[in-house]
Amino acid sequence: MTATPPMKKKLTHLPQHVAIIMDGNGRWAKQRNLPRFEGHQAGVENMYSAIEYFSHLKVKYLTLYGFSTENWNRPEEEIDGLLELLREVIDEEALKLHRRGVRLRHLGQPERLPRNLQAAINKIVDLTKNNTGLNFSFAFNYGGRTEIVDAVRRLIAEGIPAEKIDEKLFSRYLYTADLPEVDLVIRTGGELRTSNFLIWQAAYSEYYFTDVLWPDFDKKEIDQALLAYSQRQRRFGGL
């Protein structure tokens, strides 16, 4: 991302929690006759640029969808390359994020991830746990339905009586236990679906869909999404 462009219209309000489905890396590479892996590299680079920009805008919570539980069905070579790329980038960027005051957390099931990637994730989560800047959550090996099933299993394992369970209590058993609900969900790449992403937390979110592929979703595109959000009136089921 280049220098921050001026907003053509003033934002009346910003969302507290933005979640993004980062889609289009493969198509971005195909358009340029590049291997899919290079699309993922460009996507990861843009991910860190987006973190910087949302931090600059003083958005408090940012959640990015990097790898779903269904993505394991992709070619093994692509998956292995993506996992190794993520580990390398975490090692390289951890201190930079820490210096910016970013607090990082992982959403999803870590058990299936390679041990070196688990270690890298645990290291940066521990390093940044006391930071007070942007709360950045990375959904990797994440699925919304799996998250809900995991929450139910924990409730049962702890012997919580059925009559004690309400929405507030249930939310505390999700991966996002101490995060606010999502205000704005953005999906890049032209697809018009949510792909099992934060299906509990985004029940009353505003949605913004764009044809722009994730590696090209720059500051100008972020501004447009936030401007669209600022012009909406949220009713949460009311009149």
Q: How does pLDDT run across 154-178, given as a tens digit for each residue? A: 999 999 999 999 999 999 999 999 9
The single-letter DSSP state of residue 202 is: T
Catalytic residue chosen out of the listed positions 23, 183, 216, 223: 23
Mean pLDDT of 79-100: 89
How large is the C-alpha radius of gyration of the chain? Answer: 18
Q: Kindly state the percentage of the chain with pLDDT values over 90.
A: 83
Q: Residue 31 CB: number of other CB atoms within 10 A?
A: 12
Average pLDDT, the chain: 92
User: Do 160 and 172 touch, CB atoms closer than 8 A?
Assistant: no
% of the chain with per-residue pLDDT over 70: 93
Angle, helix 76-99 to helix 36-56, in steps of 10 degrees: 20
In the prediction, which pLDDT does 91 show? 84
Tell me if 216 sits within 8 A of 194, measured CB to CB.
no
CB atoms within 10 A of CB 191: 13
Q: Is the pLDDT of residue 15 over 70?
A: yes
- Report the candidate in 30, 1, 21, 59 with the shortest Cα–Cα distance to residue 226: 59
User: What is the reported pLDDT for 2?
Assistant: 46
Give the predicted TM-score (pTM) of the model: 0.92
Q: What is the 3-state secondary structure (H, E, C) of 85-140?
A: HHHHHHHHHHHHHHHCCCEEEEECCCCCCCHHHHHHHHHHHHHHCCCCCCEEEEEE
Q: Of 208, 230, 231, 233, which is closest to residue 16 (Cα–Cα)?
A: 230
Fold (CATH) for 17-123+141-230: Undecaprenyl pyrophosphate synthetase (3.40.1180)
Distance CA 46, CA 217 (A): 8
Q: Does the annotation count 23 as an active-site position?
A: yes
Give the start-to-end residue ranges of the domains of the chain.
Answer: 17-123+141-230
Query: Does pLDDT of 125 surpass 80?
Result: yes
Residue from 25, 71, 130, 218 carrying the catalytic annotation: 71
* 3-state SS class at 119: helix
What is the structure's pLDDT at 10? 62
Question: Please, which pLDDT band fits residue 95 given cuts at 50, 70 and 90?
Answer: confident
Is 218 a catalytic site residue?
no
